[in-house]
Chain A
């Protein structure tokens, strides 16, 4: 469980990136953090594994204040995948890249081997096992970075912009994986601008703006409310846009799921056909 209590954070150069954020994320919850560029999303998630310590207020992970433990200790529990994969890739092969964290956490050689294979298969990277990560494409590098964190199976998983540069197939794989993690009651936090991806996943949504959380609710409620979305520089997903425009037909406004939308539209058409 992550408890954020009235956190303020100022960067050394004087930028106030967080201005009073309070928030509780329970175990097994799936949360998406959205909002305009520079809203403070990355700054907030860096507090969850202790990379940044609040200037004011406190962050507790499973009841432990992040100021009292090292990042390495917290990282075992809280896996954070950075926005830009190029900030972390350094090994000669993809395999070693994945092994890096596992060695740091003191996994045994045999377990490491097994974990690497498992992780490579997770997002379709098996054929790159012996390839240099620097030879891969942007989207592939991003996946290597993702997988190198997934490998130690942290209890809380934070993904900063996981869908950047991913083709549709890979996005779908990622979604499936997240859903699987959710079924296993892991806590997942994603930071993203990809509103369609969020609509498909249907998590709890936090909207941030200028260092504050302005909205907190389930995806279906938040993503179908144009006023609060505009306020945070987010556009509604396409399905929601259709239903907002069709609302004068007496259709419900709060639809973001494709299958639900199809159901509703079919029913209407059938009624008309009668």
Chain B
């Protein structure tokens, strides 16, 4: 559940929190694309490091570390699968290149989690909804989206309670072989899914009985405006993206091993 913890917004104020969510989203997309087009270790390390100033500036270091820790398990899985397959593919020998590739794939995943986590940690659901609305997306969709985001922590908590309830009936999640372990999660997933569906239906009924959608022309108390910081960020985002594409197209990227070799 700690992955969710890492995505949970807390109301604090910082230069990053005050940025326009639309621009932050553009930034996340830029990082995203940059991370996808590189499979070498070196640029991914740079992409990872670029974001750390944002985290520090936003003052969400603790939450961010927690989300990183939450991603650790999946990262390990990604590393192991990449490593094992390249290990077998290379004819059962460990080469530095294979290790570096596996690390790069893992780091790519971490960079993606990192950028998403920075985005969600510093953007309130309300802000997000506002941003969507001002991009002229129909209000129904905006509402559905913000509600979904808001319910993530609720869902995480519910999953915990369900797990407790099934453990109290003798369910042991860590018992059995791999397939059995996956099956062990059925008694947890079904109540969770049924509960969510039921809740969404109830929510819809409750909202309609409180005259949801009665006014056609909604206005907002807050209106998003671009400030200086937003322009700086958009320059940074475009800069990262342009540099990344340029390097990708016109340069060969040395592996870390070669680079270190040439230095010493």
Task: Name A residues whose Cβ lies closer than 8 Å to a Cβ of B.
Answer: 46, 49, 51, 70-72, 75-76, 79-80, 82, 84, 86-90, 100-101, 104-105, 134, 148-149, 152
Taking a contact as CB atoms under 8 Å apart, the answer to whether A86 and B194 are in contact is yes
Taking a contact as CB atoms under 8 Å apart, the answer to whether A88 and B198 are in contact is no
Given contacts A87-B161, A87-B162, A134-B194, A71 and B187 within 8 Å (CB-CB):
no
Residues of A within 8 A of B190 (CB): 90
- Interface code B150-182, partner A: CB below 8 Å = 1, 0 otherwise? 000000001001101111111110000000000
Residues of A within 8 A of B165 (CB): 82, 87-88
- Interface code B123-144, partner A: CB below 8 Å = 1, 0 otherwise? 0000000000000000000000
Taking a contact as CB atoms under 8 Å apart, the answer to whether B164 and A104 are in contact is no
18 contacts between A and B (CB under 8 A): A70-B172, A71-B167, A71-B168, A75-B169, A86-B195, A87-B158, A87-B162, A88-B166, A88-B187, A90-B187, A100-B169, A100-B171, A100-B187, A101-B169, A104-B169, A104-B170, A104-B172, A134-B194
Q: Shortest beta-carbon distance, B157 to chain A, in Å?
A: 10
The 8 Å CB contact of B167, one of A75, A89, A90, A149, is A75
Number of interface residues of B (CB under 8 A): 20
Taking a contact as CB atoms under 8 Å apart, the answer to whether A82 and B194 are in contact is no
The 8 Å CB contact of A90, one of B164, B168, B191, B198, is B191
Taking a contact as CB atoms under 8 Å apart, the answer to whether B187 and A87 are in contact is no
Q: Shortest beta-carbon distance, B200 to chain A, in Å?
A: 14
Taking a contact as CB atoms under 8 Å apart, the answer to whether A49 and B172 are in contact is no
User: How far apart are the CA atoms of A51 and B169 in the complex, in Å?
Assistant: 11
Please classify the interface of chain B as helix (H, G, I), strand (E, B), loop, or mixed, using the class held by over half of its residues. Answer: helix
Known interface pairs A82-B161, A149-B169, A152-B170; 13 further A-B residue pairs with C-beta atoms within 8 A, sorted by A's residue number: A51-B164, A51-B168, A70-B172, A75-B168, A76-B170, A87-B158, A87-B162, A87-B165, A87-B191, A88-B187, A89-B191, A100-B169, A100-B187
B169, B170, B194 interface centre (most CB from chain A within 10 Å): B169
Task: Name B residues whose Cβ lies closer than 8 Å to a Cβ of A.
Answer: 158, 161-162, 164-172, 186-188, 190-191, 194-195, 198
Taking a contact as CB atoms under 8 Å apart, the answer to whether A90 and B170 are in contact is no
Q: Shortest beta-carbon distance, A191 to chain B, in Å?
A: 14
B165, B190, B195 interface centre (most CB from chain A within 10 Å): B165
Residues of B within 8 A of A87 (CB): 158, 161-162, 164-165, 191, 195
Taking a contact as CB atoms under 8 Å apart, the answer to whether B164 and A46 are in contact is yes
Taking a contact as CB atoms under 8 Å apart, the answer to whether A148 and B169 are in contact is yes
Taking a contact as CB atoms under 8 Å apart, the answer to whether A105 and B168 are in contact is no
Please, which residue of chain B has its CB at the minimum distance from the CB of A134? Answer: B194
Residues of B within 8 A of A82 (CB): 161, 164-165, 168
Q: Shortest beta-carbon distance, A181 to chain B, in Å?
A: 18
B158, B164, B198 interface centre (most CB from chain A within 10 Å): B164
Taking a contact as CB atoms under 8 Å apart, the answer to whether A51 and B170 are in contact is no
User: How far apart are the CA atoms of A80 and B161 in the complex, in Å?
Assistant: 13
Please, which residue of chain A has its CB at the minimum distance from the CB of B158? Answer: A87
Residues of A within 8 A of B194 (CB): 86, 89-90, 134
Residues of A within 8 A of B195 (CB): 86-87
Residues of B within 8 A of A105 (CB): 170
Taking a contact as CB atoms under 8 Å apart, the answer to whether B170 and A72 are in contact is yes
